[in-house]
């Protein structure tokens, strides 16, 4: 529902200086759990990598860690043979205020994984992001339109953007706006690239 877009928008506003004083010198760093876990075959590999990331963030003034799908930190790395998972490695730095962190997850995954770790939940303030209205989703899609046009080398009419939102809202029930409208526009652009030129 645009959870990641909120963090990206915050980063953009920081660069533009359109944030409260406390964030003027902030820099957002995104943590890619998949990359961090990749190749961690030996006991302690993951722990050492994450500890190094935390240390570098602690030493970087104004650092803000962004973890997309933050529920994945619970249990992450524990399967590599180490004693600690990512959440337990992050807790000391979070509780001492040594690092600031933003995480995003879905409501379902928050309840299923994140909420069960009471010590971790205490270190965050939960902010619910509701699905945008159809009208708001159309405005969001208008903002994304140039990126998809450039990527797919196509042009989308305003009617196509509006239809992608309205029809996906009506017929795609297992996803939320604007994600399902983004998929419609993305798949349409990709399929158009496959059409042979006349």
End-to-end CA distance of the chain: 38
Helix 179-194, helix 158-171: angle, nearest 10: 120
Q: Which domains does the chain carry?
A: 3-121 (3.40.50.300), 134-194 (1.10.8.60)
Mean pLDDT over 101-111 rounds to: 92
Give me the residues paired with residue 193 across strands: none
Mean pLDDT over 114-119 rounds to: 90
| pTM tops 0.75 | yes
Nearest by Cα to 178 from 192, 161, 155? 161
Query: Per residue in 68-105, pLDDT tens?
Result: 999 988 887 665 444 568 899 999 999 999 999 999 99
Contact 30, 64 (CB under 8 A): no
Q: How many CB atoms lie within 10 A of CB 122?
A: 11
Query: Per residue in 15-24, pLDDT tens?
Result: 999 999 999 9
Side-chain half-sphere exposure of 14, counting CA atoms within 13 A: 17
């Amino acid at each position: 529902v645009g959870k990641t877009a909120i963090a990206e928008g915050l980063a953009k506003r920081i660069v533009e200086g359109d944030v409260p004083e406390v964030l003027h010198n902030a820099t957002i760093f995104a943590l890619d759990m998949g990359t961090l876990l990749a190749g961690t075959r030996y006991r302690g590999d993951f722990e050492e990598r994450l500890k190094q990331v935390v240390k570098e963030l602690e030493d970087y003034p104004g650092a803000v860690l962004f973890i997309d799908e933050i529920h994945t930190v619970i249990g992450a790395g524990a399967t590599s043979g180490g004693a600690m998972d990512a959440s337990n490695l992050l807790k000391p730095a979070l509780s001492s205020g040594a690092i600031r962190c933003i995480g995003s997850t879905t409501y379902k995954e928050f309840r299923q994984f994140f909420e069960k770790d009471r010590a971790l939940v205490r270190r965050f303030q939960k902010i619910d992001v509701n699905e945008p209205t159809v009208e708001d989703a159309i405005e969001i899609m208008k903002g994304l339109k140039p990126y998809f046009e450039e990527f797919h080398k196509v042009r989308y009419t305003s009617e196509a953007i509006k239809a992608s939102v309205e029809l996906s809202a009506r017929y795609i029930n297992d996803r939320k706006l604007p994600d399902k409208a983004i998929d419609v526009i993305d798949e349409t652009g990709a399929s158009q690239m496959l059409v042979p030129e006349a």
